[in-house]
Amino acid sequence: MTIYSIFSARQKQSLHQVPILSPTLIVVRQGEKRMYNGEEQLILSTNQAAILPAGITPFMENIPSQGQYLADLFVPPRRWLVRFQEQYGQLLAGLPNQYPSFKLDTVIEQALLPCKAQTPKDDPWQTAHIEIAWSQVLLELIRLKVAAPFFIASNQPLGDHLRDLISLAPSQDWQAEKLALQLGMSSATLRRRLQAENTSFSGLLQEVRMARALGLVITTQQTISEIAAQCGYESLASFSQAFKRHFETSPSELRATL
């Protein structure tokens, strides 16, 4: 497993409704990132960082400098955040919930180094080692008073639980009725609870698949057809249409900026 990925681009990227499914630390290494979420605006220049809370869908622009945009992304599992909050919850009291830009100091940069490792899923020792390293990163972010977005809405709503399940296998033929049965509730109850969270099963399914698709288009060399299949689309045309409808750019157009 890995919690770390690198985003790069050679041309300016404009992406609409980018789904942030899990709290994410973004560190811009070269170029500039601009994010707009409603009336909120966030601009990250080179060597600036921000923590984005789960559940937002901002408009993003990635702007290269000297022909290159580079950013580090860290997305820890929710269970790590829950365990951290259980142990250090008292340190989170009073932290501001905003997600301002900030610069990482050398202490946090050093703490992040082991978090960039990739380990096999069946290696619990290495996974535990990365979780411990990530806990150190969180403690340092608390020191800077910027860690709160990692813990907003820590009592996981049903929608977030379903997103986690779908994220395990976005290509699967997910159906609301079967998933409701698996969770021990009726499909009507599942729809009602999601409606109370201002979402729907089809909406969050699309959200998870588009989030996975965006990551694969930007960070891998897989063909668009392979990505479509991994995201649950049998037709390349329907996948491309859904991608463009969501991000207002096609996967091939986005790939051409890399």
Segment 168-206, tens digit of pLDDT: 889 999 999 988 877 777 889 899 999 999 999 999 999
Phi/psi at 26 (5° precision): -110, 130
Q: Can you give the pLDDT at residue 16? A: 93
pLDDT above 70 covers what percent of the chain? 97
Q: Does 118 or 11 have the greater pLDDT score? A: 11
Whether 95 contacts 51, CB under 8 Å: no
Q: What's the whole-model pTM score?
A: 0.77
pLDDT of residue 154: 45
Contact in structure between 249 and 209 (CB atoms under 8 Å): no
CATH 2.60.120.810 correct for 1-155: yes
**Stretch 216-234: mean pLDDT:** 95
The CA dihedral of 126, 130, 136, 138, to the nearest 10 degrees, is -150
- Among residues 42, 31, 18, 32, which one has the least CA distance to residue 100? 42
Residues 127-160: pLDDT tens digits?
A: 999 999 999 999 999 999 999 889 875 456 888 8
| Domain spans, the chain | 1-155, 158-255
pLDDT confidence band for 52 (50 / 70 / 90): very high
Superfamily holding 158-255 = Homeodomain-like (1.10.10.60)
